[in-house]
Copies of this chain bind each other. A is one copy, B any other.
């Protein structure tokens, strides 16, 4: 594999250059906790968006909270690294694993030249609770975004990663159908509304039900669930009056600021 021009640019030799000391993948594991409310009758639970963090045992940042993660190996892509770490940390595959970005500011890791790749994932609450129970409670924590961002001492540049991840899922919650990652296969419109509001507190839509169900331009995101006889499937899990169940279709509308 040589040619006449090779004299101009000698074959690449990695050993001649300084190379990074490690390429980890760190994962922001989100979960939606559901807490029943004490009410006279059935009522909607209170949702909360939380994130799992691990307390570091050793240098650097011993005692601080950090995102779970680990180093990439030569025989895997970074997505595979993240997927493997997610499995190792929680025992499950998660409902969504997506690349967030690269964090490479010099000096971000006192151990050396370490470039981290952040991912985010959605994991069901019971998985993280199980993980927490299996381990020392001192070591694993589930925190709300506010706690994590404002109150905890975080290792490395993990506060920045968390902020970016939060921004990203807020944007995705409004612009894609990832809400389905937080919901069961079938859900009521109130549940969907609550999920959106939990992740994006600013979201408010007075005529939510009507808009989703009766505007042509949004037709196709959701569809009513019916049983084998074509009867509408209802749920009264959170309400006295049964509510229609919906599911997401696999259609995601393309938005535009000009249209």
Interface residues of A (CB under 8 A from B): 1-3, 5-6, 8-12, 14, 17-23, 57-60, 62-63, 71-79, 99, 101-102, 104-106, 111-113, 115, 117, 174-177, 196, 203, 205, 208, 211-212, 218, 221, 252-259
A65 to chain B minimum Cβ distance, whole angstroms, is 15
Please tell me if the beta carbons of A17 and B11 are within 8 angstroms of each other in the complex: no
Chain A to chain B: the 3 pairs with minimum beta-carbon distance, closest first: A14-B21, A174-B256, A255-B255
Bound Cα distance A175, B171 (Å): 12
Please tell me if the beta carbons of B18 and A74 are within 8 angstroms of each other in the complex: yes
Bound Cα distance A20, B20 (Å): 6
- Which B residues are in CB contact (< 8 Å) with A74? 18, 20, 106, 113
Please tell me if the beta carbons of B196 and A258 are within 8 angstroms of each other in the complex: yes
- Which B residues are in CB contact (< 8 Å) with A258? 174, 196, 203, 205, 208, 211-212, 218
Bound Cα distance A72, B105 (Å): 11
A44 to chain B minimum Cβ distance, whole angstroms, is 18
Bound Cα distance A104, B82 (Å): 12
Bound Cα distance A256, B117 (Å): 28
Please tell me if the beta carbons of B20 and A257 are within 8 angstroms of each other in the complex: no
Please tell me if the beta carbons of B62 and A5 are within 8 angstroms of each other in the complex: yes
Give 10 A-B contacts (CB < 8 Å), ordered by A residue.
A3-B58, A9-B58, A14-B21, A17-B22, A17-B71, A74-B113, A79-B104, A175-B256, A203-B256, A208-B258
A68 to chain B minimum Cβ distance, whole angstroms, is 14
Q: Given known contacts A5-B58, A5-B62, A174-B257, what 5 new A-B pairs fall within 8 Å (CB)?
A: A18-B73, A19-B19, A174-B254, A176-B257, A221-B257
Which of B6, B10, B23, B196 has a CB less than 8 Å from the CB of A115?
B23
